[in-house]
Structure 1
């Protein structure tokens, strides 16, 4: 049994076993935060998933689905509604599973699972459903099924799933909510439970005075005793008390949460004292602040008051925090979780002592190849950690990379980041034109195309070129490009022109990485880094410089032969 909070209180018990099957492809998870602030702002959640056994990777799919839902929910901004947050998480998870399924299409191996999730917040229960797992509510002795199975029935007793996580690149999620009453009991089950025990059996067990964990165990054992031939899993949640006051929804909270004023050293905000301003632009400010209770130094990012009435800007600013919390990497700046309530709109990040890579490049012209390639490899690993979460940075540039004295890097700034699966339509021309910085961003962004991983790869190749040469692969003219015709007129400047120690195979790897047209570019970061660190034999064949030299040799040989022939003819004519 688990209880928490002086406001909303929920007891949760869960049980999941393989049953008669050799492997358990079900998964269950729940989280009851250990402080009242988190319970008040985020609530209490639980999730259950049933891996589709015929897909061969159902176990991985179900465990991924419940873990991401529970973990990512608490990383989401407090200002997001439960509905908005749950759908974003499930859409991103679905796309990730679908891509894994697609990789094994020829082997008929897929990452598919059903899913049900519950979030209890304030006075409301929010539920999410995909597939044929179920959610039941027992209230005042009456049992009600809250979900409808996503199945198509062929004949009596035979059916197939019409929806599952990982089944398609887009997923339709059933969402519902209802007001809570003290004493309500919610039951989440897989078909290994509800296909083998009756509703009366469920009522009888839930109506007993034992705890939630014992109820879950009894339901599972009853299903097993009734010859359930599937994995058997359930979660029992009992509402022991509800909050006295309802929390505001997303839009209202945005309206209520004001922008902080310009901050000055010495000013205090929510238990943090401002030490100095680190950065300021027309869109945001960064301050070095210290926690008055612990003394820890962190960075506070605040929105610019220039956009206090721009709902799209506010939404993107809030999303930055969520994106940062989802990412876990030694090469990406860490966005911090706050336990104290906020009175203004801002978020906190770890403080990294270092300088921007742009300043480092100016201080270290033509660095040793070993040092330079190590920096490039770190940036590539950081980008790879973005991509593992279906996230594209889209604004990788030297100023967005911090480097310390040990030459360790951190990627920062999530303002232009795109998360696959969280939007039905991607439009890179938003608010102030194309996302990112023209000098480093994929030209395809300006042309209205989202190239995903290849966009970040283009930026990485441009950065690598600049680290090794101090220049840009197409010169300064790229900043003047406005359309496809302008880009087609650009010509790659060999890196060896600026740094004579760069070998031809390395130069051609850089050239392929910064190709304007994606079809000529690398497909993965791994391929690019491999060609930078290991000579690619293909880049040593048909080298243009060698070809030009050979052409010149043949030209002079032919011309010399012609002169000799003409001389012989003239001499013979003269003698005659």
Structure 2
């Protein structure tokens, strides 16, 4: 993992126009928040047909720089930026619709927008409009953005995409791995239409010799002045981001403090540990020890989970263990195990969670070997609600199985283990497990993991469908064969085995629902959990038609009677023809 040291400069002027409708800004401070969210440069250009677009461009930049850093640390850069931009777009479009410009959008609150977010060793580029984003690498200048401008007859042109122009925002996104010495340039059309690429290259020459931010600002100012001297009659704005260094780093900003603590000793019943009294041991495995404890101050009962001392030298395991607490504190859902806020400083590595009085889904399945379909639906729907809470935060659970599900005394179902969970926002800074690691349980894992591919929300849908299938039949849809595959060809030979048998009460349309959720190719599965859950309860018309057997199978007597009737009529017709 490398950290990028970035020098930023910018300059914006009205040029020959009375008002500067451009606006730009940046946040490039190397603080803890920047480690988690990245460093940002953003630029907006108001459109000439609007007398208020300078309001739009200023609001867009200020809102983006504030709101982007307020998004969840769990979200990826792409998710965070797009959510914020969609919100800004809706606000600008709605403001126009409530103004005197509601019948002429191009006179309303509309602007172009471009941004670069540099996080860890990657640059994330967002763009809508006709400003431009360039990358200068090893003497080669490359345009990274597309001009969203439509050219009509007689040299007329107009913006085809911009912030605030439409109710839905279609924004370009790309990501680029950084190299030391990279120079990113963003400029409005007032600059790039009057500054040839050769002049831009010359203006950026020897930028590696620049030592201070004011020198980068001076370089940006000189390029703007060059465009103005070349006859620019528009507002002019230019930003430069120079990647002066890529610094190797081994620190883990989310877990460094916790992993620096010692591992707890073996605990005994009645012992007071870090302010908690041990009531009893709940579970012991090679990976962890789990205890029921009581807070001495509040008398509330919690579950305390400690890593096994045998794994004290396994840095990856300890990091994932500590991330369980970080993940749990960010998910607030009835169907996900809750993690309380820390009331006092910790002296050891452990995770504290709520205590669920009940039984695991595995034990429930043992006690209920032939559950009713409606009961299974109810349990799966609750698990799905918990999974949706993960997906909304750009997380994949990756280990849905009966042992990781609890049912409390009131029948509430909860997902209780986050040890295999991937967090998109943390993966971008090298934290946590990769969502292509084989960390789940083979019988429930999606096929793409065994090919070394990246998991998606469809992978969690596959695991949930396997669990549903197993609860209904006590079998697995592909037996144990999925885990044995390592090539696409091997997986293509796998055949889904129907969940129904001669004694099954499962309707054919529900079997078709499971079949779709359990497709080997992830792109043929359901896109959203909500779609799968809906089809679990409501017969999909397509599946009903597909699963309806032919009349010969539904009513063979009626079929043969119909055949005999047709033959009789045919014979009578031919007899009539012969006699006449």
Place the TM-score, normalised by the shorter chain, in its bin: 0.5 to 0.7
When residues 249 and 496 of structure 1 are mapped into structure 2, their CA distance, relative to the original with a 3 A threshold, is closer
CA distance in 2, matches of 1:453, 1:66: 25
CA contact (8 A) 2:435 2:455 kept: no
Name the counterpart of 1:297.
301
Name the counterpart of 2:372.
368
1:277 is aligned to 2:261: no
CA distance in 2, matches of 1:496, 1:109: 57
Deviation at 1:492, TM superposition (A): 2.6
CA distance in 1, matches of 2:254, 2:500: 54
Deviation at 1:152, TM superposition (A): 9.7
Match of 1:477 among 480, 484, 503: 480
CA contact (8 A) 2:293 2:302 kept: yes
Equivalent residue runs for 1:441-480 within 5 Å:
441-467=445-471, 469-474=472-477, 476-478=479-481
CA contact (8 A) 1:354 1:405 kept: yes
CA contact (8 A) 1:58 1:113 kept: no
Match of 2:69 among 62, 66, 70: 66
When residues 310 and 506 of structure 1 are mapped into structure 2, their CA distance, relative to the original with a 3 A threshold, is same
CA contact (8 A) 2:446 2:459 kept: yes
Once the two structures are superposed, residues 287-322 of structure 1 have per-residue CA deviations (whole angstroms, 9 ceiling, x without a partner) of 111111111111111111121111122222222221
Deviation at 1:531, TM superposition (A): 1.4
Aligned residue pairs, count: 408
When residues 273 and 172 of structure 1 are mapped into structure 2, their CA distance, relative to the original with a 3 A threshold, is farther
Name the counterpart of 1:417.
421
Once the two structures are superposed, residues 72-104 of structure 1 have per-residue CA deviations (whole angstroms, 9 ceiling, x without a partner) of 5xxxxxxxxxxxxxxxx6x72444434786999
When residues 98 and 537 of structure 1 are mapped into structure 2, their CA distance, relative to the original with a 3 A threshold, is same
CA contact (8 A) 1:58 1:112 kept: no
State TM-score, norm by structure 1.
0.57
CA contact (8 A) 1:112 1:167 kept: no
1:390 is aligned to 2:374: no
Deviation at 1:339, TM superposition (A): 2.8
Once the two structures are superposed, residues 88-141 of structure 1 have per-residue CA deviations (whole angstroms, 9 ceiling, x without a partner) of x6x724444347869999x99999778999xxxxxxxxxxx999xxxxxxxxxx
Deviation at 1:417, TM superposition (A): 0.7
1:314 is aligned to 2:318: yes
Name the counterpart of 1:533.
537
CA distance in 2, matches of 1:99, 1:46: 14
CA distance in 2, matches of 1:501, 1:252: 53
Match of 1:435 among 436, 439, 452: 439
Equivalent residue runs for 1:474-553 within 5 Å:
474=477, 476-478=479-481, 481-484=484-487, 487-497=491-501, 500-543=504-547, 545-546=549-550, 549=553
CA distance in 2, matches of 1:408, 1:111: 46
CA contact (8 A) 1:60 1:111 kept: no
Name the counterpart of 2:341.
337
**Aligned residues: CA RMSD:** 5.4
SS of match in other structure, 2:337: coil
CA distance in 1, matches of 2:525, 2:352: 37
Which stretches in structure 2 are left out of the alignment for 5+ residues? 1-18, 47-55, 94-109, 126-132, 137-142, 146-170, 179-234, 236-251, 569-580
CA distance in 1, matches of 2:265, 2:533: 45
State TM-score, norm by structure 2.
0.57
When residues 444 and 554 of structure 1 are mapped into structure 2, their CA distance, relative to the original with a 3 A threshold, is farther
Which stretches in structure 1 are left out of the alignment for 5+ residues? 1-19, 29-40, 73-88, 118-128, 132-149, 154-159, 174-228, 230-247, 565-576
When residues 263 and 63 of structure 1 are mapped into structure 2, their CA distance, relative to the original with a 3 A threshold, is same
Once the two structures are superposed, residues 250-307 of structure 1 have per-residue CA deviations (whole angstroms, 9 ceiling, x without a partner) of 9985674111122221122210111112122111122111111111111111111121
Once the two structures are superposed, residues 169-215 of structure 1 have per-residue CA deviations (whole angstroms, 9 ceiling, x without a partner) of 54889xxxxxxxxxxxxxxxxxxxxxxxxxxxxxxxxxxxxxxxxxx
Name the counterpart of 1:97.
81
